[in-house]
Each structure stands twice: as structure tokens, then as C-alpha cells.
């Protein structure tokens, strides 16, 4: 893309914003074209932009006139309030929160999966970035969905704490130090200790007993695949990992498909790397997820309990592909579609 677009990063001091800035710097954008925005608390604070530094500005005072793309990652209530203002000034808003994901005429996009949903998006539009767990699962499942159709998905997630933000990362580090020093862990972001523990609830519990994080995977899969008949059953779990989400995905296809064909499809799929697990080297959050762009698929095998069942283990960096990178890729697709 031509790199002279003016870009505002909203939530620049946060876990996702920090990585957005580093991806934009890696891709050759110039510091002068980037506005780093956060709350009043951070106004004047410096954030890294490659080997440069940007001064953070207060979102509340910012004038979006002249901004081409506004990448929001400062929480749902901030997006609800400011994304319409940015769009009203002519920016394309790419929103990482769940504020607009379920609005019918707002596209919810994973570029490898449903790029056609960006048709018609232009200045003044809002595009929603899906939930991190949905993104990596659908990048891995899209080739199978296209060829054989998917009837049902059962998924258990193993989600890292970076998905809960910068404060949560500190909490995991501090609780780990406390435990190793035989002290009681202090709770802040998480209701129960996260260090050396596994928490089976992410986001609020709904009336149906599922957490909102789990229901996001249901709603978003159906919207992105444009198929409300796909059945999704999720259990979302927080694990004491800093970066990188892992998922045990079990799916049932509508049509028969041979495992060799599944391997071939995934081997050729955009954004996917299949790891065969030789010498016990499987994709993991630490060895493959953190800091990497692709979605890694391992433990690929036929489900012995179902004739059209497939099992896989899916790993990606939740902050990169699950958020910041996906948003930047949406922006790049929009730019490419102009030429």
C-alpha cells in the first residue's frame, strides 16, 4: 500500500495498540502519519514506534479530520462513543472491540476468510474486527468450510492473559512472583488467581450458562461464514500464558472429506501453517504463537467417534492475528482494492 495514509491508533498505550504501532512501523509507515491516542491519563506519554517514539494524545481532544484510518482498541465504551465521531469525520474505522460486531450492516472481517464483506466499505464506514478466538479458528476452518461445509464445531480455548489487556499481563507476572515467594497472590483483573491456575470463565456469564466470550464464537462464526445454521459449542478458558491462544477444535463436516484432502487444503491455505508434530514439536503459544503472524495447525486427525469428525489444535498470537495484525490487514485490503 502507499504508506502516506494518516492513521490514528486509539488505545496506543494498551496491549493491542502497542503491537499495532509496531506492525505499522514494520510495514514502513512514517511516524509523522501516525496519531497515538489514549486517555487523558496518558496524554504526553511516549510510546514506541519502531525505533522512533510518538507522543500520546488525549482521544477526547483529538480532531479526526484528515485521518484515513482509525484503528480502535480502547474498550467497547470508548468505541461506542468515539468511533462514530471518527467515521463522521471521514475516517474508515476498524474497531477491535465487540461494540459493532453484531450490527447487521457492519462487516465483520477476517481477510483470509470473507474479504468480499469489505466491498462497499469506504470513508465514513465502520468495519469490525472479530474476537481473537474466532479469528484464528476461522482462518483454520475456512478452507474446510468452502470445500465440505461445516455442520458443527466443538471448541475449547486456552486463552492467554494478554487478551485481557496490559494490566492483566502485570497481574500474571506479579502473582507468579508472589507464588514463587510463598506469598498470597493479589487479585485485581481476575476474580480468581491466574498464576499456576486455569479459569473456566472469560467475560460475563449469560442466561444460557455460556460466557459472553463463548457466545462471541457462536455469533461471529455464523456471521462471518454467512451461515446461521452452523452449530458452535465453545468453552473459553483463561490459562497462565502471556501471549498466544491455543484451541482444541473438533468439527463435523456436512460432506465427506478425506483427511489427506484436509491436510492438502490447510497446507495451501492463506495464513495457515500446518505443523506435523514430528519429535513432539507441536504448535504451542510460546514456540509458535507469540510474536508470529500465521495461524498454526497441529494434531490434525480424524475423530474416531464420528465419521465426518476432524480434530485439530490451533495456535496463534491473539494480539497479532487475533487483533492488531487482522486490523492492519483489513486496512491493507481496503487500500489494495482502490487501485
The residue from 70, 78, 99, 118 that contacts ligand A2P (CB under 6 A) is 78
Tell the smallest beta-carbon distance from residue 229 to ligand A2P (Å).
34
Q: How far is the CB of 54 from ligand A2P (least distance, A)?
A: 13
Q: Min. distance of Cβ 161 from ligand A2P in angstroms?
A: 11
156 binds ligand A2P (CB under 6 A): no
Active site residue 132: yes
From the list 245, 250, 282, 288, the catalytic residue is 245
Applying CB under 6 A, which of residues 31, 85, 156, 166 lies at the interface with ligand A2P?
Answer: 166
Of positions 7, 11, 94, 214, contacts ligand A2P by CB under 6 A: 11
Binding of ligand A2P at residue 14 (CB under 6 A)? yes
Does residue number 194 form part of the binding site for ligand A2P (CB under 6 A)? Answer: no
Count of CB atoms within 10 A of residue 142's CB? Answer: 23
Please provide the DSSP assignment of 13-46 as one string: TSHHHHHHHHHHHHTT--GGGEEEEE-GGGTT-E
Return the ∠ at Cα 143 (arms to 140 and 147), rounded to 5°: 145
Q: Which of 33, 48, 68, 75 binds ligand A2P (CB under 6 A)?
A: 75
Q: What's the per-residue H, E or C state across 152-189? A: EEEEEEEECHHHHCHHHHHHHHHHHHHHHCCCCCCCCC
In the set 29, 117, 132, 288, the catalytic residue is 132
Residue 193 near ligand A2P by CB under 6 A: no
Assess 70 for contact with ligand A2P (CB under 6 A): no
What distances in angstroms separate CA 158 from CA 20, 200, 238, 274, 307, one per listed residue?
23, 9, 6, 19, 26
Residue closer to ligand A2P (CB basis): 73 or 201: 73
The CA–CA distances, whole Å, from 92 to 220, 224, 334 equal: 21, 20, 9
Sheet holding 295-302, edge to edge: 231-235, 150-158, 245-253, 309-316, 295-302, 272-274
Window 16-45: residues binding ligand A2P (CB under 6 A): 17, 38-39, 41-42
Residue 236's alpha-carbon distances to 111, 133, 157, 289, in angstroms, are 24, 9, 5, 18
Tell which one of 54, 67, 74, 230 touches ligand A2P (CB under 6 A). Answer: 74
- Is 117 among the residues known to form the active site? no
Catalytic residue positions, numbered: 132, 245
The residues of the shown chain that bind ligand A2P, judged by CB under 6 A, are: 11-15, 17, 38-39, 41-42, 59, 74-75, 78, 165-167
Amino acid at each position: 500500500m502507499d504508506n502516506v495514509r494518516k492513521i490514528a491508533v486509539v488505545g496506543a498505550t494498551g496491549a493491542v495498540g502497542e503491537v499495532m504501532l509496531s506492525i505499522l512501523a514494520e510495514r514502513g509507515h512514517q511516524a509523522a502519519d501516525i496519531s497515538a491516542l489514549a486517555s487523558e491519563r496518558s496524554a504526553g506519554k511516549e510510546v514506541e514506534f519502531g525505533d522512533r517514539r510518538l507522543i500520546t494524545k488525549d482521544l477526547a481532544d483529538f480532531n479526526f479530520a484528515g485521518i484515513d484510518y482509525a484503528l480502535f482498541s480502547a474498550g467497547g465504551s470508548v468505541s461506542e462513543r468515539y468511533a462514530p465521531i471518527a467515521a463522521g469525520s471521514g475516517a474508515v474505522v476498524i474497531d477491535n472491540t465487540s461494540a459493532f460486531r453484531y450490527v447487521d450492516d457492519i462487516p465483520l472481517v477476517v481477510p483470509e476468510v470473507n474479504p468480499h464483506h469489505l466491498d462497499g466499505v469506504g470513508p465514513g464506514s465502520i468495519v469490525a474486527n472479530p474476537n481473537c478466538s474466532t479469528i484464528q479458528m476461522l482462518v483454520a476452518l475456512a478452507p474446510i468450510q468452502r470445500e465440505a461445509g461445516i455442520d458443527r464445531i466443538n471448541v475449547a480455548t486456552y486463552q492467554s492473559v494478554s487478551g485481557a489487556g496490559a494490566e492483566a499481563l502485570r497481574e500474571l507476572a506479579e502473582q507468579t512472583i508472589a507464588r514463587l515467594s510463598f506469598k498470597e497472590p493479589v487479585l485485581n483483573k481476575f476474580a480468581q488467581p491466574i498464576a499456576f491456575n486455569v479459569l473456566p470463565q472469560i467475560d460475563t456469564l449469560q442466561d444460557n450458562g455460556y460466557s459472553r466470550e463463548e457466545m462471541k464464537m457462536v455469533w461471529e462464526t455464523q456471521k462471518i461464514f454467512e451461515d446461521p445454521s452452523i452449530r458452535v459449542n465453545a468453552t473459553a478458558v483463561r490459562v497462565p500464558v502471556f501471549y498466544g491462544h491455543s484451541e482444541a477444535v473438533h468439527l463435523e463436516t456436512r460432506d465427506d472429506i478425506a483427511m489427506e484432502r484436509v491436510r492438502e487444503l490447510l497446507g495451501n491455505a492463506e495464513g495457515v501453517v500446518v505443523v506435523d508434530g514430528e519429535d513432539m514439536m507441536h504448535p504451542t503459544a510460546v514456540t509458535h504463537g507469540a510474536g508470529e503472524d500465521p495461524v498454526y495447525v497441529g494434531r490434525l486427525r480424524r475423530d474416531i467417534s464420528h465419521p465426518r469428525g476432524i480434530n485439530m489444535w490451533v495456535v496463534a498470537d491473539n494480539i497479532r492475528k487475533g487483533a492488531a495484525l487482522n486490523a492492519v490487514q483489513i486496512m491493507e485490503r481496503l487500500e489494495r482494492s482502490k487501485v
